[in-house]
Amino acid sequence: MKKITGVMVYYYFICKRKLWYFSNDVSMEHNSELVGIGRLIDENSYKREKKSILVDEMINIDFLKDWKVIHEVKKSRKLDEAGKWQLKYYIWVLRNKGVEIEKGILDYPVLRKREEIFLTASEEKELMNVLKQIKDIIERELPSGVINKPFCKKCAYYELCYI
């Protein structure tokens, strides 16, 4: 059984086909200019505070303040919902490890904005359902269909889906 990573939760909310490709080791991310931009932001923002922490090879936290607040850095708010759930997943994983996380913060350095993220009891139930569905999707023999969204053009798997 594959471990569910934070990126998988993120992709679940963006595109289930992308989730399948990524989880089944179809990797084309190095071709994506967007990923390059993301990396650049990552390298240049929060230089003094930044600590990248990998937990159980499942979640890669941008930084953790006083072991209570998790920060996740994003470049735009376009895929907000996915980023929120990725962060809720991080909160859940760490709480299950006995770390008393209060909240998460989504940081948008380019926009100079930040948003507080919490994980409520009802959202935790929703998250369990999402994790179940992720397991189901990634174990299928074939990926889900293409979703025809404007952001497909910027996706690393665009050629696989449309050409």
Q: Which stretches of the chain bind ligand SF4, using CB under 6 A?
A: 15, 17-18, 21, 146-147, 152, 155, 157-158, 161
Least Cβ distance, residue 101 to ligand SF4 (angstroms): 30
In terms of CB distance, is 29 or 42 closer to ligand SF4? 29
- For the bound state, the minimum distance from the C-beta of residue 131 to ligand SF4, rounded and expressed in Å, comes to 20
Q: What is the DSSP letter of 155?
A: S
151: amino acid identity, one letter: F
CB-nearer residue toward ligand SF4: 83 or 104: 83
Instruction: Indicate the residue among 17 and 88 with the shorter CB distance to ligand SF4.
Output: 17
Query: Which residue is it, tokens 């993301």?
Result: 38
Nearest-approach distance from CB 154 to ligand SF4, in angstroms: 9
Q: Considering beta carbons, is residue 21 or 85 the nearer one to ligand SF4?
A: 21
Backbone torsion region of residue 46, taken as left when φ is above 0, otherwise alpha when ψ lies between -120 and 50, otherwise beta = left
H helices of the chain, where?
6-14, 16-23, 33-44, 80-96, 121-138, 158-162
Least Å distance, CB 149 to ligand SF4, is: 6
Closest CB to ligand SF4 among residues 92, 157: 157
Shortest reach from residue 90's CB to ligand SF4, in Å: 23
In terms of C-beta density within 10 A (0-12 exposed, 13-18 middle, 19 or more buried), how is residue 10 classed? buried
Q: Is 29 exposed, middle or buried (0-12, 13-18, 19+ CB in 10 A)?
A: middle
Using alpha carbons, select from 34, 31, 103, 28 the residue that is nearest to residue 72: 103
